[in-house]
Amino acid sequence: MVMIEWYLAFGLLIGLVMVLLLIGTYVAFAFFAANLVGVYVFLRGDIGLSTMSIEFVYSVAKFSFVPVALFILMGEILFQSGMAARAIKAIEPVIKNVPGRLSVVSIASGTVFSALTGSTIANTAIMGSVMLPEMQRRKYHPTISMGPIMAVGGIAMLIPPSALAVLLASLAEGSIKDLLLAGIVPGILMAISFAGYIVIRCWVSPELAPTSPEDDIIVAGGPSPWRAVIRDVLPLLSIFVVVVGSIIGRIATPEEAAALGCIASVVACIFYRQFEVRTFLVALRETARVTVMILFVISGSYTFSQVLQISGATTGFLRLLDGWDLTTITALLIMIAILLVFGAFMDQVSMMLLTLPFFVPLAMANGIDLLWLMVIMLLAMEISLLTPPFGLLLFVMKGVAPKGTPLGAVYRAALPFLALELFVLGLLVFWPQIATGLPNMLR
């Protein structure tokens, strides 16, 4: 085994992954390449390479990863069947007589959709395709039309069922149930801050969201707008109740709750006569595609964290930080800063897998509650979705926006909501009870 200084090992392994990601290599392949180099250098050459396949299998052969695939399937069923779009259209007539009405509708609908799917990409894509054309037809300013759709898309990362939250808790060896519950209050707080900003901004500057005679017309639900909500939204929210309620009531484990959510989604589609075998097969295919991608990344990153430890990079990095005599808040702020920097050019799964080998030991050494850290990580990764230049939701919005929409306009639309997310993150840092209160109450 080759022994070199920890900072050289750190620079070699982390630097190789970063370079490969920057030149456009797939995340899984970037980790696999770094593993090949690291194992050969630090684990006695060919002997280390022969054990890699065993490590890959061990890394994904965990029952705790089952909810990841099932939550993705649940969201795909609702998305592919059109049930989510139906719920969004039912919410619109209920919200009346508020400045920036359609933008507020986007926030409310996107929050409901987040509680049904847990998919940031699906959330942004469907909200963009359903709400954006109408807002642009009514001459809404880009900040008030595109901004809320991108911002509310990220809430799916916090509000259960969130596949990324399950993945994070599994990798950090924390409680999946507690993390799913811990994301509810910060997610709702985020939605309220977005809606509040829109109302105040449009009240001060009405030209940003011109009113229309159509705003006073009840389109769906006949004589009462609430009829459509009762018909198309409340039954779907029962899926959320099934998933979260079964976990809170200790009726089911997170794995079993995810399976119940999939069954409830299929039952809802059948009840609304939206179930088709072809659509279900598409949902299965998309679920398989996304899940296989995630498992490949996990297998590569698990070995990567092992190589980091064997090379001495993890120990050396923690020893360096320990010499700084960090306080709890200072250590937390350093971790947040690292996540925000990575978020400007890296996807969320890569960020999580690259930082966890360092963050979990650092948190334990500085007395940071693991649940608090995981919620902060989710929120920081949500912020990274809107962070230029490579925030994922920025490009999703560019894809659903009308042809010719400049990327700069998408960036500018995201900035006010990025500031609001940073504000909520600050609240969470100084008042951890925002995240930990609900799980502690329900234990």
How does pLDDT run across 140-166, given as a tens digit for each residue?
888 888 889 888 888 888 888 777 888
pLDDT value of residue 220: 43
- Residue 137 to residue 106: CA distance in whole angstroms: 15
- Residue 47 to residue 150: CA distance in whole angstroms: 48
Residue percentage of the chain with pLDDT more than 90 = 11
pLDDT value of residue 420: 93
Core vs surface per residue 143-164: b (16+ CB within 10 A) or e = bbbbbbbbbbbbbbbbbbbbbb
350 versus 168: the higher-pLDDT residue is 168
Single out the residue of 299, 292, 291, 306 nearest to residue 56, CA to CA. Answer: 299
Domain boundaries, the chain: 6-441
pLDDT value of residue 218: 44
Single out the residue of 109, 131, 186 nearest to residue 397, CA to CA. Answer: 131
* Mean pLDDT score of the chain: 79
Of 87-96, 331-340, 355-364, 417-426, the range with the highest mean pLDDT is 417-426
Instruction: Write out pLDDT tens, residues 258-301.
Output: 888 889 888 888 888 888 888 889 888 888 887 777 677 667 76
pLDDT value of residue 308: 73
- Residue 136 to residue 125: CA distance in whole angstroms: 16
- Residue 7 to residue 19: CA distance in whole angstroms: 17
Mean pLDDT computed over 227-255: 79
Instruction: Write out pLDDT tens, residues 424-443.
Output: 999 999 899 999 988 888 76
pLDDT value of residue 55: 67
First to last CA, the chain: 47
CB 289: neighbour CB atoms within 10 A? 12
What single DSSP character describes residue 402? P
pLDDT value of residue 191: 92
168 versus 71: the higher-pLDDT residue is 168
If you search the block for the tokens 């911002």, which residue do you land on? Answer: 151
- Residue 202 to residue 108: CA distance in whole angstroms: 17
Separation in Å, CA 191 to CA 171, 220, 291, 297, 329: 28, 24, 28, 31, 26
- Residue 93 to residue 132: CA distance in whole angstroms: 16
| pLDDT band for position 354 (cuts 50, 70, 90) | confident
- Residue 347 to residue 351: CA distance in whole angstroms: 6
52 versus 363: the higher-pLDDT residue is 363
Which residue type, as a one-letter code, is found at position 285?
R
pLDDT above 90 for 192: yes
Mean pLDDT computed over 47-57: 64
Sort 63 into a burial class: Cβ within 10 Å, 0-12 / 13-18 / 19+.
Answer: exposed
Q: Is the dihedral of CA 102, 103, 104, 105 positive or negative?
A: positive
CB 315: neighbour CB atoms within 10 A? 14
